[in-house]
Amino acid sequence: DTPTQIGSDTGWSAIDGGFDHTVALKSNGMIFAWGGNEFGQVRDGTVTDRNTPTDASGGTTSWSAITAGGDHTLALRSNGTLWAWGNNENGQSGWIGVHDDNRSTPAQIGSATNWTTISANFDHNLALKSNGTLWAWGNNEAGQLGDGTDDNRSTPTQIGSATNWTSISVGEYHSVALKSNGTLWAWGDNSVSQLGDGTQTDRNTPTQIGSDTNWSSIATGANHTVARK
């Protein structure tokens, strides 16, 4: 019931928690993970749970960003490539055209080299490219991918044609994003008003929330959203 230091290392630079696993990044470009590993989300080549940080770098020290989904993990390398491992039941790990093919080691998602930002939650993901475009894949049962359908996607799918997206955050079944003009957008499950549009109606395309243009940061829980101006 009190904070406990994990190990004695001092080079941690980023951390994210999934449903039952945790992923952390060191300043030297290495990834460590621990917790539940049923689907290989810890990425040590096994499906054995780990109770201490386990090297998930795969011999590479060029990792630059991490995010933990429900039972899957996404990561970026410094060369702008996108990688994933773990549960792929709904295509959330992005293997090309494949569902139900879990991985305990990473696989590159596509061949693009301009990914800059990633966000994952239960079983869907958002990502941004350096050209300001927005991409999504995984479970879409509540329209949380924002492509105007409720069809799951097993590869990153561009959402709309806008090129001014700057920030993203993924909830359990909803998504939130900011544009460079300071506007706030949300879509997906709205059963408890987590989109903030004054209704409880699900949205399957990005919907602007209010008319303010001074939003600066966003964060999502499973079924709620927080934003700062």
Annotate the chain with three-state secondary structure.
Answer: CCCCCCCCCCCEEEEEECCCEEEEEECCCCEEEEECCCCCCCCCCCCCCEEEEEECCCCCCCEEEEEECCCEEEEEECCCCEEEEECCCCCCCCCCCCCCCCEEEEEECCCCCCEEEEEECCCEEEEEECCCCEEEEECCCCCCCCCCCCCCEEEEEECCCCCCEEEEEECCCEEEEEECCCCEEEEECCCCCCCCCCCCCCEEEEEECCCCCCCCEEEECCCCEEEEC
Q: Percentage of the chain with pLDDT > 70? A: 96
**What's the whole-number mean pLDDT along residues 209-223?**
98
Residues in the chain: 229
Strand bridging mode 115-120 / 103-108? unpaired
For 105-125, how does the pLDDT look when each residue is reduced to its tens digit (9 = 90+)? 788 999 999 999 999 999 999
- Output the pLDDT for position 91: 75
For 128-163, how does the pLDDT look when each residue is reduced to its tens digit (9 = 90+)? 999 999 999 999 999 999 999 999 999 999 999 999
What value does the mean pLDDT of the chain take?
A: 93
- Output the pLDDT for position 95: 53
pLDDT at 67 over 70: yes
Q: How far apart are CA 52 and CA 39, in angstroms?
A: 17
